[in-house]
Structure 1
Amino acid sequence: MMIWRTEHIVQETNFYTYVQARERENQSLHYSNTVAIVGGGPKGLYALNHFINQLKLYPTSKYFKILWFNQDKLFGCGPNYDIHQPDYLLINYCIGHVQAFHPDYRDYENQKSFVDWLTAVKTIDTPVAPTDFASRALVGRYLQWVATETTRNLPTNVQLELISQPVTTITYQDIKVMVETQTGAWEVDSLLLATGHCYQNSPLVHHPEIPAAHYIRAAYPVSQFAAIPPQEHVGVVGLGLTFIDIALALTEGRGGVFSHGQYKPTGKEPVIYPFSRTSLPICCRGPQYHAQRPLFLMTDAWFRTLMDRSAKIDFLTEVLPSIEKEVQLAYYSVLIGSTDLQAILKKIKCVPKEERFTLKDLLQPSLGSEEEIVSYIQMNIEEAHKGEDKSPRMAAAAVWGKICPWIADLYRTVGYTGASQQQLDSYYFGAFNRVSYGPPIANMEKIYALAKAGIIRFCAFQNPKVRWQTRQQTFLIQDPSGLEIQVATLIDARIGRPALQKKNAFFYDNLLQQGLIKQHENEGYSPGTLSMDKHGKCTTINNVPVYCYGSNTEGVFFDNDTLSRTKNNTACYWVEETLKDR
Structure 2
Amino acid sequence: MLGRTDGGNCGAGPRGTSVVERLLARRAQSEGGELHIHLIDPFAPGAGHVWRTEQSRLYLMNTQSFFPTLIPDQGVDAPPVAGCTFNQWRAAQLDTPWPGLSEGDQQELAALAANNFPSRAIYGRYLSWCFEQLRENLPAGVTLVNHATEAKRVVRDRTQGGFDVVLLDGGTLRADQVVLALGHVESKLSPAQRGLRDDARQHGLTYLPPAVPNDVDWDQLPAGETVLVRGMGLNFFDVLGQLTEGRGGRFEDTGRPAGEALRYVASGREPVIVGASRRGTPYRAKAELAAYYPQSITLRFLGEDAVAAIRAMGATAGFDHDIWPLLHRDTIWAYYTTLARTRPELVTPELLPELDAMLHTGLDGGSPAWEQELAELLGRHVQHGHVLDLPGLARPLAGQKASDAGLADRGGLPSAGRHFATHEQLDAAVLEYLVADAAGSALGEDDPVKMAIGALNAGRAIVKSLVADRGITQASWLGELRGWFEGFVEGLASGPPAIRVEQLAALVRAGVVHFTGPDPVFRVQHGVFTASSPWVADIPWEARHLIEALAPSNNAQNSASPLLQNLLADGIVRPRMMMASDGGPVVTSGLDVTAPPYRPVDGIGVPVEGLYVLGLQLSSTQWGTAIAAEASAKYRSGYRTVLDADAIAAAILD
* TM-score, normalised via structure 2 length: 0.78
Contact 1:53–1:105 under 8 Å retained in 2 = no
Q: How does 1:481-496 map to 2 (within 5 A)?
A: 484-496=540-552
Rounded Cα–Cα distance in structure 2 between residues aligned with 1:213 and 1:553:
36
Rounded Cα–Cα distance in structure 1 between residues aligned with 2:139 and 2:81:
13
Q: Is 1:148 equivalent to 2:129 in the alignment? A: no
Rounded Cα–Cα distance in structure 1 between residues aligned with 2:79 and 2:145:
27
Contact 1:333–1:344 under 8 Å retained in 2 = no
Q: Is 1:273 equivalent to 2:274 in the alignment? A: yes
Structure 1 residue aligned with 2:636: none
Q: Is 1:552 equivalent to 2:592 in the alignment? A: no
Contact 2:152–2:563 under 8 Å retained in 1 = yes
Structure 2 residue aligned with 1:161: 145
Rounded Cα–Cα distance in structure 2 between residues aligned with 1:504 and 1:288:
39
CA deviation string 1:112-133 (max 9, x = no partner): 3222212222357968642222
CA deviation string 1:505-540 (max 9, x = no partner): 443222212222222122233322111012121122
Give the 3-state SS of the residue equivalent to 2:47 in structure 1. coil
Counterpart among 296, 301, 308 of residue 300 in structure 2: 296
Contact 2:355–2:377 under 8 Å retained in 1 = no
Q: How does 1:386-535 map to 2 (within 5 A)?
A: 386-387=443-444, 389-422=445-478, 423-462=480-519, 464-469=520-525, 472=527, 474-480=528-534, 484-523=540-579, 524-535=585-596
Counterpart among 315, 321, 325 of residue 317 in structure 1: 321
Give the 3-state SS of the residue equivalent to 2:449 in structure 1. helix
Contact 2:522–2:529 under 8 Å retained in 1 = yes
Percent pairwise identity: 21
- Structure 1 stretch 392-401 or stretch 212-221: which is displaced more? 212-221
User: Which 5+ residue runs of structure 1 have no aligned equivalent?
Assistant: 1-30
1:327, CA displacement in angstroms? 1.7
Q: Is 1:253 equivalent to 2:246 in the alignment? A: yes
Rounded Cα–Cα distance in structure 1 between residues aligned with 2:498 and 2:393:
18
Q: Structure 1 residues 155 and 295 mapped into 2: Cα distance closer, same or farther (>3 Å)?
A: closer
Give the 3-state SS of the residue equivalent to 2:588 in structure 1. coil
Give the 3-state SS of the residue equivalent to 2:646 in structure 1. helix
Contact 1:35–1:189 under 8 Å retained in 2 = yes
Contact 1:170–1:511 under 8 Å retained in 2 = yes
Rounded Cα–Cα distance in structure 2 between residues aligned with 1:80 and 1:230:
27
Residue identity in the other structure for 1:403: G
1:171, CA displacement in angstroms? 1.7
Rounded Cα–Cα distance in structure 2 between residues aligned with 1:489 and 1:105:
53
Contact 2:316–2:472 under 8 Å retained in 1 = yes
Give the 3-state SS of the residue equivalent to 1:564 in structure 2. coil
1:77, CA displacement in angstroms? 1.1
Structure 2 residue aligned with 1:575: 649
Counterpart among 394, 402, 410 of residue 363 in structure 1: 394
User: Which 5+ residue runs of structure 2 have no aligned equivalent?
Assistant: 95-105, 254-261, 343-348, 359-373, 399-417, 419-425, 580-584, 631-638
Structure 1 residue aligned with 2:198: 208
Q: Structure 1 residues 544 and 486 mapped into 2: Cα distance closer, same or farther (>3 Å)?
A: same
- Structure 1 stretch 401-410 or stretch 334-343: which is displaced more? 334-343
Rounded Cα–Cα distance in structure 2 between residues aligned with 1:418 and 1:292:
34
Rounded Cα–Cα distance in structure 2 between residues aligned with 1:404 and 1:395:
14
Structure 2 residue aligned with 1:335: 339
Q: Is 1:56 equivalent to 2:28 in the alignment? A: yes
Q: How does 1:1-150 map to 2 (within 5 A)?
A: 32-60=4-32, 62-72=33-43, 74-103=44-73, 104=76, 109-122=81-94, 129-150=113-134
- Structure 1 stretch 415-424 or stretch 548-557: which is displaced more? 415-424
- Structure 1 stretch 32-41 or stretch 257-266: which is displaced more? 32-41
Q: Structure 1 residues 199 and 41 mapped into 2: Cα distance closer, same or farther (>3 Å)?
A: same
Counterpart among 195, 216, 224 of residue 231 in structure 1: 224
Residue identity in the other structure for 2:529: F
Q: How many residues align?
A: 544
Contact 1:64–1:157 under 8 Å retained in 2 = yes
CA deviation string 1:455-506 (max 9, x = no partner): 11112131x332224x52x212234456622121111111234324435544
Contact 1:191–1:547 under 8 Å retained in 2 = yes
Contact 1:545–1:574 under 8 Å retained in 2 = no
Contact 2:89–2:126 under 8 Å retained in 1 = yes
1:357, CA displacement in angstroms? 1.5
CA deviation string 1:33-86 (max 9, x = no partner): 2101111211111111001111111121x22221101132x2101232211111
Instruction: Calculate the aligned-residue CA RMSD, in Å.
Output: 2.6
Rounded Cα–Cα distance in structure 1 between residues aligned with 2:311 and 2:287:
32
Rounded Cα–Cα distance in structure 2 between residues aligned with 1:47 and 1:255:
41
1:453, CA displacement in angstroms? 0.9
Contact 1:91–1:133 under 8 Å retained in 2 = yes
Give the 3-state SS of the residue equivalent to 2:227 in structure 1. strand
- Structure 1 stretch 98-107 or stretch 490-499: which is displaced more? 98-107
1:295, CA displacement in angstroms? 2.3
Give the 3-state SS of the residue equivalent to 1:508 in structure 2. helix
